[in-house]
A and B are shown apart, each in its own frame.
Chain A
């Protein structure tokens, strides 16, 4: 069955620390990949996406993610986090352009000021 795994459920960092959140999905084929973010009290919104082309994609607020096909991974990174990055981050995968997108369980990031 199709599944998406996020390695860390909770991450605590100090401001200026580097961030990497892991995301793996169950098997290959053509995939569309997403990271969504949910800030406290706000709705889910798109952070970045990968459909094709350069496997290193850049999103809003200095975030980037790298698609490694051989590892079925799409890890999210940010070189220097800010307190305002405190949020829950969701990885999502869509296989073959179908109507079903599978979400990971989410990673809660807390950044200490």
Chain B
């Protein structure tokens, strides 16, 4: 397996459910990202992890909870979501040098989430 993988690819959940999205990168990168891609809106950064430490939380509601157990794996735990949270959730990774960011990112295929 190469690149960035995401599971599941599709997820339908009710507003009272709890589910998790998983991302794994096979590139040896040290930073990982969660983005939300909604129709007709720019890609929205949700969270950034650098060396397993969260460095960005872009004012994301607490019903989204990230977890980064190591530099290769990233999870997004979901609970009590709203219908407007339906979107494509993308994971990405990059290789940072020192403490600087700004490098190109490698994206996974995304998880298409539908909240009913």
Contact = CB atoms under 8 A, between A and B. Distances in A.
Interface string B1-14: 00010000000000
A44 B107 contact: yes
Contact of A94 (B40, B101, B106): B101
B102 A97 contact: yes
Interface residues of A, number: 27
B82 to A, nearest CB: 22
A99 B107 contact: no
A105 B45 contact: no
Interface in B19-76: 31, 40-43, 45, 48, 50, 55-56, 58
Contacts, number: 60
A73 to B, nearest CB: 17
Nearest to B96: A99
10 A-B pairs closest in CB distance: A103-B43, A94-B102, A99-B101, A97-B102, A97-B100, A44-B107, A32-B102, A43-B109, A105-B42, A99-B48
A104 B107 contact: no
B104 A46 contact: yes
Interface of A: 4, 9, 32, 34, 36, 42-46, 49, 51, 90, 92, 94-106
Contacts of B58: 100
Nearest to B50: A99
